[in-house]
Amino acid sequence: MGKVIFGDSRDMREVSNESVGLVLSSPPYYNAPYDFPDLFRDYRSYISTLREVLFEVRRVLQRGRAAVFVVQDVRIDGELYPITADLISLAREIGLRYQDRIIWRKPEGYIRISRRSGVFVQHPYPLYFYPDNVYEDVLVFRKEGKPQLINREESKVDLNLFQREKWYLSVWELTNVLPSQRWSKFTAAFPEELAKRVITLYSCVGDVVLDPFLGTGTTAAVARALRRDFVGYEVDLELEEVIRERVGEAEVVKRSDAKRLRTTLKAAVTKRTPSDSSPSL
Ligand SMILES: C[S@@+](CC[C@H](N)C(=O)[O-])C[C@H]1O[C@@H](n2cnc3c(N)ncnc32)[C@H](O)[C@@H]1O
């Protein structure tokens, strides 16, 4: 049975050392205006949160196994914050080896925030160009050591699928979660297909898959469907219902450091409330 812990993943005391076969997660994208306005006091405190979580990730990961993060730089008031570059530096600093960067390319029809290139249409002159963003980074890190594979034959990857869907490329063209899916309104969830590829390619049947920023539970739901076990951390108690719905039966632990965030975050997105009335981590 899987486990969902409502609490801050800077402390993953419920997970023992070297017990996790794969980490798959998408951290909050700093104070992204459409998801997490003013969640963190400043960029330094955001980076320090990531560092603490990565430290825990390294502790719980088995030797030779992978930690995979879906991230993207974020633009706030015109300034671009280099989350991808900083996450790579942090991971390397704490001793995880940087192995690969896969680009998740979204369909062109999907531009979530705004069409930045619209400025150029109005002013078609040099230096008025601002590209529309259609990708996210999938960063793959490895802990040192030789991996021990369990259930090797059962975990064998379907080569026909691998070839047909071009999993072998460093660019994966995948449709994002559509607004018709209920959980799309809670977090910027990554698609189940992305989780399916990562879990199939980097873990074995029976492994524990950990997501330290569980959100609506995509990692856990797909891990279960692929016969892996899972542990997920989510700080926001308001996601309990959607997580239970997506993940099914699981042991649920509620720690005293869990919070209620969504309602306030949503209100801040709608009204763009000043930072002092927003929740913070
Ligand atoms: C980008 S979302 C994850 C989306 C997820 N992949 C999904 O499929 O829904 C990041 C999540 O991390 C949670 N979070 C932020 N800081 C956290 C922390 N310190 N510990 C645990 N969860 C945290 C947020 O509440 C949010 O739900």
Per-residue pLDDT tens over the stretch 118-139: 889 999 999 999 899 999 999 9
Question: Hey, whose CA ends up nearest to atom 15 of ligand 1?
Answer: 28
> 168 Cβ partners below 8 Å, 6+ apart?
162
In the predicted structure, residue 38 carries a pLDDT above the cut 90 = no
Question: Distance from the CA of 29 to the center of ligand 1, in angstroms?
Answer: 9
More confident residue, 115 or 41: 41
Domain coordinates of the chain in residue numbers? 2-277
In the predicted structure, residue 277 carries a pLDDT above the cut 50 = no
C-alpha separations of 95 from 23, 90, 141, 146 in Å: 15, 9, 10, 15
pLDDT at 272: 59
Each residue of 208-235: pLDDT tens digit? 999 999 999 999 999 999 999 999 999 9
Proportion of the chain above pLDDT 90, given as a percent? 74
Question: Hey, whose CA ends up nearest to atom 8 of ligand 1?
Answer: 189
Question: Distance from the CA of 132 to the center of ligand 1, in angstroms?
Answer: 25
Each residue of 246-264: pLDDT tens digit? 999 999 999 999 999 888 8
> CA 183, CA 215: separation in Å to the nearest integer?
9
- Band (pLDDT 50/70/90 cuts) for residue 238 is very high
Question: Distance from the CA of 62 to the center of ligand 1, in angstroms?
Answer: 23
> CA 237, CA 254: separation in Å to the nearest integer?
8
> CA 215, CA 195: separation in Å to the nearest integer?
13
Ligand 1 first shell, C-beta below 6 A: 8-10, 26, 28, 49, 187-190, 213, 215-216, 218, 233-236, 261, 281
> 111 Cβ partners below 8 Å, 6+ apart?
132, 133, 134
Proportion of the chain above pLDDT 70, given as a percent? 94
- For the CA atoms of 177, 183, 186, 189, what is the dihedral angle to 10 degrees? -40
Question: Distance from the CA of 213 to the center of ligand 1, in angstroms?
Answer: 4
Question: Distance from the CA of 26 to the center of ligand 1, in angstroms?
Answer: 7
Q: Which residues pair with 104 in a beta bridge?
A: 136, 172
In the predicted structure, residue 276 carries a pLDDT above the cut 80 = no
> CA 103, CA 91: separation in Å to the nearest integer?
18
For residues 24-47, give the mean pLDDT.
Answer: 89
> CA 254, CA 7: separation in Å to the nearest integer?
7
Which atom of ligand 1 lies closest to the CA of 25? Answer: 6
CATH for the stretch 2-277: 3.40.50.150
Which atom of ligand 1 lies closest to the CA of 239? Answer: 27
In the predicted structure, residue 193 carries a pLDDT above the cut 70 = yes
Work out the mean pLDDT of the chain and round it to a whole number.
Answer: 91
Give φ, ψ of 242 to 5 degrees: -70, -35
Question: Hey, whose CA ends up nearest to atom 7 of ligand 1?
Answer: 189
> 105 Cβ partners below 8 Å, 6+ apart?
134, 135, 171, 172, 173, 174
Tokens of 43: 């960029």
pLDDT at 145: 98
| Closest by Cα among 63, 41, 43 to 51 | 43
Question: Distance from the CA of 166 to the center of ligand 1, in angstroms?
Answer: 29
Of 187, 239, 243, 263, the one to substitute when testing ligand 1's pocket (max ligand atoms within 8 A of C-beta) is: 187
Task: Note the pTM of the prediction, 2 decimals.
Answer: 0.94
**N-term to C-term CA, the chain:** 30
Asked whether 6 and 234 are in contact (CB, 8 A), the reply is yes
Question: Distance from the CA of 214 to the center of ligand 1, in angstroms?
Answer: 5
